[in-house]
Structure 1
Amino acid sequence: MSDTFAARHAGTPRANLSRYVTYLLGCLVFSAGATLFIHSELGVDPLDVLSLGLLEHLPITVGIAQASVAVVCIAIWALWNRRRPVLAPFVTFFLCGSLIDLLRLLDLSALPGVVSLALGVLLCAYGSSLIIMSGTGIRAMDLIVISMTQRWRWPFWAAKVSVEAVLLTAGWLLGGPVGIGTLAFLLFVDGLIQPFMAANGKVLHIPNRGIEAPAARVPATTGVAA
């Protein structure tokens, strides 16, 4: 499907169905990767490093910490783009959280930690690529990343690594745990999302509604999520 065709038929029922199927598949794949990541016990992702670091100083839960980070990211995005704050990121937040809770009921004891981490990295990266390309429920921090790519012409991977490196550094300074899995997430998950998006476009002909859409249309059509 060409970009012109995708833009012309962006509002049709068929296009909307394709968008939501891509989004839901992305959430499922990402949640499976996050479950494997947790099972590996080799480290947490940068957002969790910050969340756990905040817990060292504030009487809150991990969920509240992550939601607070999402609120800050959405506020920055809204001010930067002069847009109203969006709520769709929280749909992704709670949907993926619920899926992870369900998937953790599976018996993964046969998977060694390193294998679990490697699979988790691939699935988290691919799931993230699908969510972003769907243009629906894009994670709050990725809203900022997309704005960086549109305004500063940065490659997606560079913007993504930069934003997550800030979260990681802040969390580490607050006392959050950093392990080999954390670095693997920062380098490989963040680094693989852009190549996966390119492959999805060329091989599967999935339109990239999250990044290739004009900046003014992204928040209105996606309700873009954390």
Structure 2
Amino acid sequence: MLVRRLAQLYIGLALYGLGIALQVASRLGNDPWDTLHQGLARQTGLSIGTWIIIAGALVMLLWIPLRQRPGIGTLSNVILVGVFADLFLWLLPDPHGLPLRSGYLVAAILVGGFATGCYIGAGLGPGPRDGLMTGLAARGHSVRIVRTGIEVTVLLLGWALGGTVGVGTLLYALTIGPLAHVFLPLLTVERSPAAA
């Protein structure tokens, strides 16, 4: 069972990196965190993937006062999503024309929803950004308010730094929750009490 969970985790992280790369390459608007990562990349010359890794590590430092405990999935997420995002940004052909760019965007969101179900469903630890949200919510704050506050903050900061905001940003915001709601139950690995 652990082999299945690990395989699902790493497939999910690879696909998540692919989803990020597709959305960034579409140039139609990134999700909030990747707007921030792209803005930081444009200001510093470091790659988007490098900033995904750096931001993930910094967010994990915020877990300490929240007493959140990372799992192997958390640590793998911090490192591998950025690596895969850079790899796929390098491999993907540049989409020319609005139809192909729109196809990249739709594929990005579908892949991202499926990947979210994969890596969370593996049950090996939340991603650093998800753990921050749940840690703050566990302190008595509304999950909706915490999630919205974090997402709006990073989106505005990323936009100010030059990250791409557009129709893809809105489409992602409206669809990622429902997609995760569909894929997470399908991909959650049931664990025996001894494996939990």
- Specify if TM > 0.5: yes
Which residues of structure 2 form unaligned runs of 5+? Answer: none
Give the SS at the match of 1:27.
helix
Aligned 1:1-226 pairs, distance under 5 A: 15-55=1-41, 58=44, 60-81=46-67, 83=69, 87-97=75-85, 99-101=87-89, 103-104=91-92, 112-136=100-124, 138-148=126-136, 150-152=138-140, 160-201=147-188, 206-207=189-190
In structure 2, give the amino acid aligned to 1:207.
E
In structure 2, give the amino acid aligned to 1:180.
V
Q: CA deviation at 1:52?
A: 3.1
Q: CA deviation at 1:50?
A: 1.2
TM-superposition CA deviations, 1:117-152 (whole Å, max 9, x none): 122111101101211121336422122133345554
Q: CA deviation at 1:186?
A: 2.5
- d(CA) in 2 for partners of 1:38, 1:180: 12
Q: CA deviation at 1:75?
A: 0.8
**Counterparts in 2 of 1:114 and 1:139: CA distance versus 1, 3 Å:** same
Structure 2 length-normalised TM: 0.73
Large movers: runs of 4+ above 6 Å: 107-111
- d(CA) in 2 for partners of 1:31, 1:61: 13
Q: CA deviation at 1:172?
A: 2.0
Which residues of structure 1 form unaligned runs of 5+? Answer: 1-14, 214-220, 222-226
Identity %: 22
The count of aligned residue pairs is 191
Q: CA deviation at 1:58?
A: 4.7
